[in-house]
Amino acid sequence: MSGLKKMLSLNMETALEISTKEKFLLNFKNSEASNNELVNQLKKNAVSSLALLDFPTTKDEYWKYTRVAKIINQEFSLEPKIEVKLHSIDHYSSDSYKVVLVNGKLQSEKSELPSGIKFVSFSDTENSELSLLGSIANHDKEIFTAINTAYFSDGYLVKVDDNIVLDKPVNIIHVVTEKAVVLPRLLIHCGKHSELQIIQEYVSQNVSSALNNIVTETFLEDGAVLDVVKIQSEKNAFHISNDYVSSKANATFNHTVVTADASWVRNNSNLYINGSNAEMNLMGLYIGKEKSHIDNHTLIEHLQPHSNSNELYKGILDDNSTGVFNGRVLVDKEAQQTNAFQANNNILLSKEAAVRSKPELEIYADDVKCSHGSTTGQMDEEAVFYLRARGIKEENAVKLMLKAFVADTLSKIKDEELKDYIQDCILEPSLF
Amino acid sequence: MGYTEEDLAKDLKSEYKYGFISNVESEKIPKGLNEDVVRLISLKKNEPEWMTDWRIKAFRQWQKMTEPTWAHIHYPKIDFQDIIYYSAPKPKKQLNSIDEVDPELLKTFEKLGISLEEQKRLSGVAVDVVFDSVSVKTTFREKLSELGIIFCSFSEAVKEYPDLVKKYLGTVVPTTDNYYAALNSAVFSDGSFCYIPKGVKCPMELSTYFRINEANTGQFERTLVIADEDSYVSYLEGCTAPIRDENQLHAAVVELVALDNAEIKYSTVQNWYPGDENGKGGIYNFVTKRGICTGVNSKISWTQVETGSAITWKYPSTILKGDNSIGEFYSVAVTNNMQQADTGTKMTHLGKNTKSTIISKGISAGKSNNSYRGLVKVHKNADNARNFTQCDSLLMGNNCGAHTFPYIEVENNSAKVEHEATTSKIGEDQIFYCNQRGLSTEKAVSMIVNGYCKEVLNKLPMEFAVEAQKLLEISLEGSVG
């Protein structure tokens, strides 16, 4: 009798376990098939890997400090509306090609698509141009990538031909307006010696608990230069971003991610350096307030010799917020004469704030220069006093100090106007 | 203590010099592990019932646990039924003086360079020798007991000072702590016990020498050091083993307790047999070491030089519970050939104004992998905690790996935590500079490596520092070019 009982309860348990994932996946049953065979095949593969994956718990090393349970147990709306009043949203309005995606869907009438480069949806793209899709986004290992791959309704290809230098930045504004699971998918392909600047702004409008689950794959051909600036300020939303970048020789990739006024963010940036003399700069700045949780995971794999990578993440954490930084640099046996630097600095402003920092080096080549550093501390009272002694109000003194602290994380942004925008419109209001 | 060029030349030629086997008759129990074996070990040691129960409880917990797999090491699965859990040099009677120790055994120790006779006369270091996990001889006991210091084998302590053992055993490393600690708690055969009473500064260094002699055996010893209020002790530990083709398991537990204003300095020179250049044989060193600064103003300092073992899995940690307590960790870990090391420390800040320092120097050569893994955790109430961590790695050759996995968790905004790490190889310009001045490349490398490790070696007591320096040179022999 007791044996039977045990069996029953065991069955119940497994049933419950399944239901979390199954229930969550119910959100996507309506996903329409694409008219592109390649995309359909990829989606099929992702569905079958999803069957083997499960949501991570804090026992998974990769998710040690970030819980997803409270997200996946939410009820989401299946067909989010896509109306939005753009003028009511704060966004970077200087000269740029504006592309508006509402709940993951392109709003052509509100957008000004760039000329000179390709910005098209997958369904309007030929197979040959999509051959790279899904090639580095590992849907067999990362469940959120798998969900995106299996169920995105349409994605967008940004393609820059060889030797093209775009005149102004492309500003992609992602708006979430409803409690829905949004699955934006981007494929960025930069041709040889091309130059492109992309701004990605993530904002939310009148929502609570939307889940933005983004996957971006980026390919840099020889000598390509790509600058990406991400501004994440989705209030009351969950944001999971999986970025995959593969670079060939002599390419430059500058990535700056600014997270402020956001509720819950998890960024996974994965960089694979497949050519020599490449240069990768990863900059991050996160400001946590109230109960926000901001988690930045980075992976840089040096697979070829003579490349440089530079990583600098800085955080200011106030109230009950928590910050996580996990940076991993892997130098392959082949990657001799690699220079890799990694730094994470945090300031805790309140007694309840916490930070977890895990900079990792994994090195298999000897002729390298690699270092990392991590610090956590508080405002320098003496410096604040120095400023106050010179007639600066305490509040302004602290602000000034904090601005100085984060300034170098914006150093890779070439566009001064954009830098000013971030400083004045994103940082200024969120610092106090 | 002068170490000349000739000595170096000799050492460089030598391979693992502690690889002899002593023909000491020993008493073993059959291979395998079950509850009866645990009871048998306890019985053989004439242990009181509470000790047997403690072991059985640990064993049952161990059965429910699984081997940890998170470390950056790879090895075939260990068959825990294929190990002899108890091997002791055949017991005669209780030994009263050093003359009664088996002469064969004494010869062994002479070969090891820790001749008890000599130690006793010259260096004034009190030694507890643990041979295949049974303590064979403790020197200087009387002199120490005049001061009220207890320094004896663990089994004696269980019999003679049960209250002390009961009070502290398992308080720092509970039986459920991890897989190997649970295993050790169930089957440990002996070890050292040390108690420093209130206000006593131990006048000499206390030392334990561990040796695995018997084939197919695992060594499971347990060390418990208690420093009562206002006391001080410096404790040394050394390890060697014979050369054998098969892998042997060493799973020890070390517990340190420092009460108010007490200080414990714990130094280890670990030179277990590392296996040959193809990775055959060698010791699996899976050790749990932890100290707790229970009292205010207490201090625990770990110093380790790790040159041996096929696999090292070891994180000497300190829990800084008392206000103003201090934790230190100085480590040199060298891996060569096919060796793998995953070692580091944990500093847990609980009390106010606690301080910790971590200096770790890793050197990898041959086809080895050397990882630093450390945790610095500042809890919510640990106001004004301070940590400084530096871990450097040196790579010699193109087939080895050096890795750093630090975990930094800060939950208090008055904490100051710093971590920095570098990885590089020996600069060609440095070697060239030495070559110019007539030093061969090999000598130059050994000089540079010694300089690189100086910060840690300086923390070792004199005798150990010399030995450690020699060990470094031998371990890295032939890894240049």
- Domain boundaries of chain B, sorted by first residue: 23-475
Cα angle B259-B265-B269, degrees, rounded to a multiple of 5: 145
Q: Which residues of A touch B445 (CB under 8 A)?
A: none
B406 reaches A (C-beta below 8 A): yes
CA distances from A307 to A164, A284, A365 (A): 24, 20, 13
CA A377, chain centre distance (Å): 26
Can you read off the two tokens belonging to residue B326?
């201090």
Length of chain A: 432
Dihedrals φ, ψ of A128, to 5°? -60, -30
Cβ-defined contacts of A63-71 (< 8 Å, 24+): A64/A356, A65/A295, A65/A322, A65/A324, A65/A326, A65/A356, A66/A266, A66/A293, A66/A295, A66/A324, A71/A209, A71/A211, A71/A238, A71/A264
Are B404 and A348 in contact (CB < 8 Å)?
no
* CA B192/CA B153 separation, integer angstroms: 4
Alpha carbon of A405: minimum distance to chain B alpha carbons (Å): 16
Interface of B with A in 43-102 (CB under 8 A): 70
* CA B341/CA A273 separation, integer angstroms: 28
Are B419 and A358 in contact (CB < 8 Å)?
no
CB neighbours (10 Å) of residue A333? 14
CB neighbours (10 Å) of residue A207? 18
DSSP string, B291-334: EEE-STT-EEEEEEEE---SEEEE--EEEE-STT-EEEEEEEEE
DSSP string, A160-198: E-TT-B-SS-EEEEEEE-SSBEE--EEEEEEPTT-EEEE
Between strands A181-182 and A118-121, the pairing is unpaired
Are B395 and A363 in contact (CB < 8 Å)?
yes
For B423, nearest residue in chain A (alpha carbons): A370
H or E element at residue B359: strand B355-364
Q: Are B421 and A373 in contact (CB under 8 A)?
A: yes
DSSP state of A55: -
Which among B410, B414, B416 is the nearest to A354, CB-wise?
Answer: B410
Of A361, A372, A308, residue with least CA distance to A335: A308
Can you read off the two tokens belonging to residue B184?
């050790």
* CA A82/CA B294 separation, integer angstroms: 61
* CA B242/CA B273 separation, integer angstroms: 7
Are B404 and A360 in contact (CB < 8 Å)?
yes
Can you read off the two tokens belonging to residue B309?
């073992």
pLDDT in tens, chain B (481 residues): 345 555 544 544 446 666 666 666 666 777 788 888 888 888 888 888 899 999 999 999 999 998 888 888 888 888 888 888 877 665 444 444 555 555 665 665 565 555 454 444 434 455 666 665 555 556 677 778 888 998 888 888 888 899 999 999 989 999 888 999 999 999 887 888 999 999 999 888 887 776 666 666 677 888 999 999 999 999 888 766 666 667 788 888 999 999 999 999 998 888 777 877 777 888 888 999 999 999 999 999 999 888 888 888 999 999 999 999 999 999 999 888 888 999 999 999 999 999 999 999 999 888 899 999 999 999 999 999 999 999 999 888 888 899 999 999 999 999 999 999 988 888 888 889 999 999 988 888 888 888 888 888 888 877 677 777 777 777 776 665 4
Encode pLDDT of B27-59 as tens digits: 677 778 888 888 888 888 888 889 999 999 999
Which among A336, A354, A374 is the nearest to B419, CB-wise?
Answer: A374
B399 reaches A (C-beta below 8 A): yes
B404 reaches A (C-beta below 8 A): yes
Encode pLDDT of A98-107 as tens digits: 898 888 888 8
Q: Which of B72, B376, B413 to mutate to test the interface with A (most CBs of A within 10 A)?
A: B413
**In sequence order, what are the residues at sequence separation of 6 or more whose Cβ sits closer than 8 angstroms to the Cβ of residue B169?**
B54, B224, B255
B415 reaches A (C-beta below 8 A): yes
Partners of B401 in the β-ladder = B369
Are A378 and B410 in contact (CB < 8 Å)?
no
Are B402 and A361 in contact (CB < 8 Å)?
yes
